Amino acid sequence: MNNDQQWVALLTEDEDDYAYWQYGFGCWATHLRIEWFATGDAFFARPGLMNIGPAVVLLDGLMPRNEESHWLAKILKHECCQGLSVIMLADQFLDDQQQQLYMNMGAVECMIKPFNQQDLKKSILAISQYAVT
């Protein structure tokens, strides 16, 4: 594995989501690798995080539920994540206020998780744009 390659952090408790996103990055964004973290604490415990942080963080549901705002704030305040693009993922957002809260906190986008290959490709290509340095 090329440790100098740009990478995307996927924070979600669902390993099946990771497999789905990994497939998408393998098809349409081979210049990026994706790493899965089931918890926010696992993300911050990643060896080398301070040396080479992710290009993008995809933040989905984490345990305990409804803690996305907490983790978004923690990620954006951490020194390894300064200027980092964080994209909030959801099956659906409760309302526009929820999305606006995340955007006001510093998320760059609120994205509905893709449910088919065409939407996955669009999502991967959009995420790739945030990784351009």
Phi, psi of 16, deg, nearest 5: -65, -35
Fold classified for 7-128: Rossmann fold (3.40.50)
Q: What is the pLDDT along the chain (133 residues), one digit of tens a residue?
A: 446 689 999 999 899 999 999 999 999 999 999 999 998 899 999 998 888 889 999 999 765 567 888 999 999 999 888 889 999 998 888 788 889 999 999 999 999 999 999 999 999 999 999 997 5
Position 92, amino acid: Q
pTM for the full model? 0.91
Residue spans of the domains in the chain: they are 7-128
